[in-house]
């Protein structure tokens, strides 16, 4: 489940709006058409129908948050000397520093911080 289409296929029937996918973790359809991976009260990943993915720890830099990002996002994160980094990808070969609001395209390229018209 690492794309919008994967999650959209999961959210069907009785579970068309929300489905438990892991411990304290749900896939939830949002009113704007996006689908979020929600850990406790934080949407750690938000998948837009355009294929864009938005990352957000909600300030909880925990092992569980990192595990959910790595399990459900196409570009995972790792930790080195207390700093989080995105795994190597086509844009940043040495790994780039993780930040909340990071936006990845459907081609797994880091675009920018969340904002503007991306959620529309």
**Exposure of 80 by Cβ count < 10 A (0-12 exposed, 13-18 middle, 19+ buried)?**
exposed
Report, in this order, helix, strand and coil percent for the chain, each rounded to 5.
15, 35, 50
pLDDT digits (tens, 9 = 90+) for 71-91: 999 888 999 888 999 886 555
Question: In the prediction, which pLDDT does 117 show?
Answer: 46
Give 51's pLDDT tier (boundaries 50, 70, 90).
very high
Cα-based angle 81, 37, 70 (whole degrees, multiple of 5): 35
Residues above pLDDT 90, as percent of the chain: 66
Question: In the prediction, which pLDDT does 88 show?
Answer: 66
Asked whether the predicted pLDDT for residue 28 surpasses 60, the reply is yes
Give 108's pLDDT tier (boundaries 50, 70, 90).
confident
């Amino acid at each position: 489940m690492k794309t919008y289409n994967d999650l959209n296929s999961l959210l069907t029937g009785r579970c068309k709006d929300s489905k438990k996918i892991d411990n304290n973790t749900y896939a939830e359809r949002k009113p704007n058409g996006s689908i979020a991976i929600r850990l406790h009260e934080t949407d750690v990943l938000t998948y837009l129908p355009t294929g864009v993915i938005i990352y957000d720890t909600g300030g909880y830099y925990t092992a569980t948050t990192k595990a959910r990002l790595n399990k459900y996002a196409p570009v995972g994160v790792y930790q080195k000397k207390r700093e989080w980094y995105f795994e190597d990808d086509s844009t940043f070969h040495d790994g780039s520093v993780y930040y909340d609001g990071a936006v990845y395209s459907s081609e797994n390229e880091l675009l920018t911080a969340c904002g503007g018209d991306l959620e529309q």
